[in-house]
Amino acid sequence: MGNDVVLASEDQQILTLTISRPEALNAINAAVMRGLHDAFEEVAEREDLRGVILTGAGEKAFVAGADIKGFKFEDDSLKQLGQFGFETFSRIEQCRVPVIAAVNGFALGGGCELAMACHMRVASSNARFGQPEINLGIIPGYGGTQRLPLLIGKGKALELLLTGDMIGAEEAKALGLVNHVVAPGEEVAKATEILLKVTSKAPIAAQKIIALVNKHYYNYQEGLQAEIRQFAECFQTEDAKEGVAAFIEKRKPVFRGK
C-alpha cells in the first residue's frame, strides 16, 4: 500500500498515510494523487481496518497545495487532472471507516481540499488553511468551492475563496473547519485517540453513520463536476497564464481580465 511519496504504516487497526515530499512542502503531484487513489482503493477492500489518519511529512506542511510547476495548460489534460482528483477525494470522503486529517502546518489549495475531503480534521496550533488559487487567476479544482461552504457557511467561504486569505488553526476551529487544535507534534496522537474511541463502538453502525451523513450532502456532486470543467476553462485565460508564471517567477501578477 502507498508508494514512494505516500508512506503507509499500521498500528491497532489504524492506517496512517504520510504524504512525503518535504522538499516541496508535500505539494500534490501525479505520484501523490496516484498513491492516495491506490491506498484508498485498497482500504475499501480491507475489513480489518478501523480508521485512517492522513498527514504530511515534516513540521512545516500538511500539503501546501498542488504542484503548480507540473500543470499543463491543455484543456483535456486539466480536465483529466481534475477528474482524477475528484475520484480520489471522493474515495476518501466515502471511505467506510473514519478518515482524519492530522494537519501539521500549511494546508493550502489542494491541501485544504484534501483535508476537507476527510471526515474530521485535527490541526496543530501552527496550521494555516486557505484556498489561494484566485491569486494565480484560477479556481480550486479538487472540491474547494463546494466543500468549504458546507463546512463553514457561504459567506465566510466566499470571503476566503475570493480574497485567497489564509486563516490560523483557532479561527478554523471556530468556523467549524477543524475539530480540534493541539500543540505542534500532537496531531497524530489526537487523531489516534479519536479513532481508538470509534473502534470501541459497533463497526457496522459506524459505517452506516458515515454513509448516511455523506448521503445528506450528495446533491453537491453536480457542483463538483461543474468545478472540474471550470477549473480547466480558467487555465485557458491569459490571467491564469500570467498568474502561474508570476508564481513561478516569484513576482506580483498583473491581471487584465482576459
Q: C-alpha distances in angstroms, 49 versus 14, 42, 80?
A: 6, 10, 31
Orientation angle between helical segments 75-93 and 221-234, nearest 10 degrees: 150
Q: Could you confirm whether 59 is annotated as catalytic?
A: no
Cell for 120?
474530521
Mapping DSSP to helix (H, G, I), strand (E, B) and coil, where does residue 103 land? strand
Q: Mark whether 113 is an active-site residue.
A: yes
**Angle, CA of 165, 79 and 6, to the nearest 5°:** 70
CA pair distance 4, 37, nearest whole angstrom: 14
Whose grid coordinates read 458546507? 150
- 59, 74, 87, 113: the catalytic one is 113
β partners of residue 256: none
From 45, 59, 133, 233, active-site residue: 133
Q: Where are the beta strands (DSSP E) in 127-178?
A: 128-130, 166-168
First to last CA, the chain: 44
Residues labelled catalytic: 113, 133
